[in-house]
Amino acid sequence: MSEVRVRFAPSPTGSLHIGGARTALFNWLFARHNGGKFILRVDDTDLQRSTEESMKGILEGLRWLGIDWDEGPIYQSQRIEEYRKFANKLLEEGKAYYCFCTKEELEEMRKQAEKEGRPPMYTGKCRNLTKEQIEEHLRQGRKPVIRLKVPQQGKTVVHDVIRGDVEFDNSTFDDFIIMKSDNMPTYNFATVVDDYQMGITHVIRAEELLSNTPKQILIYEALGVEIPQFAHVSMVLAPDRSKLSKRHGATSVQEFRDQGYLPEAIVNYITLLGWMPKDGEEIFDVSKSIKEFTLERVSKNPAVYDVQKLTWINGHYIRNYDLDKLTEAVIPFLKAKNLIREDFDYDYIKKIVSAVREREKTLVDIADAMSYYFTEVNEYEEKG
């Protein structure tokens, strides 16, 4: 087997949430288990929504969890010429074509399909334009998109390590766009070019991206390059089995950090969202995960987010954490509550942490429990 190369490719349009953190972790565990490489790529071609602040938060979140990368971060926005080069190759080989259809024409196609009870799909109007027609449109200043010529018969099969074979009928796809009229790539096209050029061997990602995979396979086939193995990890659902969202409480790594959870506990918990060690134990360190992690043992069933279980796991780590490390972790929470000054007595704080840790589940809980001791000291000082 060639060297395993996997990637985590977040879009810097929001925070690192629990689902994204799990995707990153599973890729990282798979790379470390197989002695491979974990690559960080930034899918930032949506220039209007991408922010530096979001990217900074994602990088900080990964570092805090202990997920380090071997290559990157590699930014898609800096690779636009590569996508254009591959799109031109497909044009030259007759596997893609310029489409000059206007919004009005596309809307008319949609209405006609609706009228005839067909799914709204591009009709292929520009599929067979002559060289002269293309040149005339370009002379008129019309800005085309580039569409892939999709086979109109047959099936595309996704060989998924977790889900088995998943078939898609090619007739359900139209000639989809790979380059937009502003010369920017679509998500599927940029993803394929990147994964090919970066030598990605396994694409491990969320189940909701499975519907993109047949289109990506069609692009791989058109380019005539090797297709990686795919593994689509089941969704993380809320306790009521709906889609996990902010209304279910903390969902981002930063929120968990602010609420006093330890990174080791978060990593332990999100590993359990779809995977379990051989002995069935629920408390284990990352070295055990690295030693045992395989895609074949990742569950097909949706994982259900359970904050009570996470808090229970966090309590276990707090009770067993190195006392100095725990004290260092608690100090920012004490400062945030204005319970200590800059010239605090470290040994005194360490003794109190040791005294209260057995009963508490988060760093916030420890800081709250410690406030009693500092209140007493302050009152004594005032009376004196």
Select which of 111, 243, 246, 291 is catalytic.
246
The secondary structure element, H or E, covering residue 180 is none
Tokens of 286: 């990352």
Rounded CA separation 229/70 (Å): 20
Give the pLDDT of residue 383: 43
Closest CA to 190 of 172, 159, 212: 212
Residue 321 burial (C-beta neighbours within 10 Å; 0-12, 13-18, 19+): middle
pLDDT of 375 > 70? The answer is no
The CA-based diameter of the chain, rounded to the nearest angstrom, is: 96
Q: Which of 378 and 98 is assigned the larger pLDDT? A: 98
* Report field, pTM of the whole predicted structure over 0.95: no
pLDDT of 257 > 70? The answer is yes
pLDDT of 18 > 90? The answer is yes
Rounded CA separation 44/192 (Å): 15
Q: Which of 247 and 165 is assigned the larger pLDDT? A: 165
Q: pLDDT confidence of 56, banded at 50, 70, 90?
A: very high
Q: What average pLDDT does this structure show over 50-74?
A: 96
Rounded CA separation 342/28 (Å): 38
Q: Are the C-beta atoms of 275 and 37 separated by less than 8 Å?
A: no
- Kindly provide the b/e burial profile for residues 94-104, where b requires at least 16 CB atoms within 10 angstroms of the residue's own CB: ebbbbbbbeee
Of the given ranges (57-61, 197-201, 374-378), which has the lowest mean pLDDT? 374-378
The pLDDT tens digits of the residues spanning 101-160 come to 999 999 999 999 889 988 899 999 999 999 999 999 999 999 999 999 999 899 999 999
pLDDT of 3 > 70? The answer is yes
pLDDT of 37 > 90? The answer is yes
Give the pLDDT of residue 343: 87
pLDDT of 333 > 50? The answer is yes
The secondary structure element, H or E, covering residue 169 is strand 164-169
Residue-wise DSSP of 181-248 = TTSPBPHHHHHHHHHHHTT--EEEEEGGGGGGHHHHHHHHHHHT-PPPEEEEEPPEE-TTSSB--GGG
**What percent of the chain is predicted at pLDDT more than 90?**
87
Rounded CA separation 274/26 (Å): 10
The pLDDT tens digits of the residues spanning 298-328 come to 999 999 999 999 999 999 999 999 999 999 9
Q: What average pLDDT does this structure show over 207-236?
A: 97
pLDDT of 380 > 90? The answer is no
Of the given ranges (14-28, 228-242, 370-384), which has the lowest mean pLDDT? 370-384
- Kindly provide the b/e burial profile for residues 252-276, where b requires at least 16 CB atoms within 10 angstroms of the residue's own CB: bbbebbebbbbbbbbbbbbbbbbbe
Q: What average pLDDT does this structure show over 238-253?
A: 80
Q: What average pLDDT does this structure show over 217-230?
A: 98
- Active-site residue, 155 included: no
Q: What average pLDDT does this structure show over 165-187?
A: 96
Q: pLDDT confidence of 1, banded at 50, 70, 90?
A: low
**What percent of the chain is predicted at pLDDT more than 70?**
96
Rounded CA separation 16/9 (Å): 11
- Please name each of the domains of the chain with its CATH number: 70-233 (3.40.50.620), 246-373 (1.10.1160.10)
